Amino acid sequence: MLAYLRLFRIANVFTVIADTTAAYLLVHQGIDSWPAFVLLLLAGCLIYTAGMVLNDLFDLEQDREERPERPLPSGAISLSSARALGFGFLVAGTGFAIAAGFVTESVGAFWWRPGALGIVLAAAVLLYDRGLKRTVLGPIAMGSCRTFNLLLAGSLVASEHWYDFRPALLAFAFGIGIYIAGITWFARTEAKESSSSSLAGATFVVVLGLVVFSLASFTDPIWQANLQARSPWFWPGLVGLVGVSVVRRCINAINSPSPQMVQLAVKVGILALIVFDAAVCMFALPGELFYALFVLTLLAPSLWLGRWIRAT
C-alpha cells in the first residue's frame, strides 16, 4: 500500500482538493450542487494522480539511475499495473469532468465546458509527462495543468459566451499557474546541486505568479464587494504575507543550492497552495469560515504523509 501512495505522491493530492474547493466556491459563493462539486473533485484528483503515475512510468530509466528506491525501478509495483492505473485514472477523471456538465442546470447552454476542459487538462498532463517536461516548455506545461484544473473547477456557471470566466477566477487560475511554473523550474535539478542563476530565475517567476494572483481584488466587482470596508490592497498584502515564507526558502536555496535546500523550498511552495486556497475561500464566502478552515486543515494530512512520502 505504501508503494502505491508513494507512486501517487498522495501528499500532493490534497492541494488539488484545496484548489477545486477554492475555485468552485469563488464562482458559486457556496456549494449549490454537491453532485457536480464531487464530480469535479474526482476529476481533478484522478487526472492529477494519473499525471504522477505516468510521470514515473515515462521517467523509469532516469529513476533507475537517480532514484532507484522509487516504486517502479525498485520493482515494488509492476510496470503493467502502473500503466493500467495511469491511463485508467486519466480516462476516469476525464469521464467525471464530462459527467459534471450533466448534473446541474446552472451551467446553461455550455454544459460541455467542464468536459472540454477535462479533455484539455488530460491532454496537457499527457504531453507534459511524455516529453515536454524535458524541454524549456516543461515548467509552462506544468503550470498550465494547474491553470486548467482551476478553470475546470470554476467552469460550471452560466455565461454569455463559452469563454467567459469570472475575472477573479482568471487571476486565480493564471496566477497560480505561473507560480507553479516557477516552482517546477525551481525543482528541475533538485536531485543534484542546482545553478543559483537558474533558481533566481525560477524565483522571479514564482513572485510574478503571486503578483498576478493578487490582482483578483482589483479585477472583480464581487471580490471587491466581499472585501467590504477593507482596501483593495488588503488581498495583495495577504498573498504577500504567505508568499514571503515561500520566497524566503527560495532565497536560502539560491544562496546554498544543495538538493536538501532546493527540495525544502519546493515542498514549502507546494504546501503554500493550500494556504492560498484557504484565503480564497475566506474571501469567496466572507461570512462563513467553515470552508476556509476545512481547506486549511488539509495541511495536516499532507504534512503527516509527507514525513514518509516525498512531494517531488
- Of the candidates 26, 276, 282, 45, the residue with the CA atom closest to the CA atom of residue 157: 26
Percentage of the chain exceeding pLDDT 70: 93
The pLDDT tens digits of the residues spanning 204-243 come to 999 999 999 998 888 877 777 766 656 778 889 999 999 9
Residue 109 placed within a domain: yes
Please say whether the beta carbons of 47 and 125 come within 8 A: yes
Residue 212 placed within a domain: yes
In this prediction, residue 41 has a pLDDT band, given cuts at 50, 70 and 90, of very high
Helices (H), 67-190: 79-100, 113-130, 138-153, 167-186
Distance CA 132, CA 204 (A): 22
Q: How many residues are given for the chain? A: 312
Q: What mean pLDDT do residues 97-124 have?
A: 88
Distance CA 312, CA 273 (A): 15
Q: What are phi and psi of 257, to 5 degrees?
A: -80, 50
The pLDDT tens digits of the residues spanning 289-303 come to 999 999 999 999 999
Residue 125 placed within a domain: yes
The pLDDT tens digits of the residues spanning 158-190 come to 666 667 788 889 999 999 999 999 999 999 877
| Domain membership of residue 246 as a residue range | 2-306
Residue 191 placed within a domain: yes
Instruction: Note the pTM of the prediction, 2 decimals.
Output: 0.93
Cα angle value 110/115/119 (rounded, 5°): 135
Please report the pLDDT score of residue 157 as a whole number.
79
**Which distant-in-sequence residues (6+ apart) come within 8 Å of 151 by Cβ?**
23, 117, 165, 169, 173
Residue 311 placed within a domain: no
Check residue 134 and report its DSSP letter: G
Helices (H), 285-311: 290-297, 299-306
Residue 261 placed within a domain: yes
Other Cβ atoms less than 10 A from the Cβ of 46: the count is: 24
Which residue type does 156 have?
Answer: L
Report helix, strand or coil for 199. helix
- Of the candidates 256, 268, 222, 244, the residue with the CA atom closest to the CA atom of residue 26: 222
Please say whether the beta carbons of 42 and 96 come within 8 A: yes
Please report the pLDDT score of residue 104 as a whole number.
77
pLDDT of residue 114 exceeding 80: yes
Please report the pLDDT score of residue 228 as a whole number.
63
Please state the domain count of the chain.
1
Please say whether the beta carbons of 90 and 125 come within 8 A: yes
Check residue 312 and report its DSSP letter: -
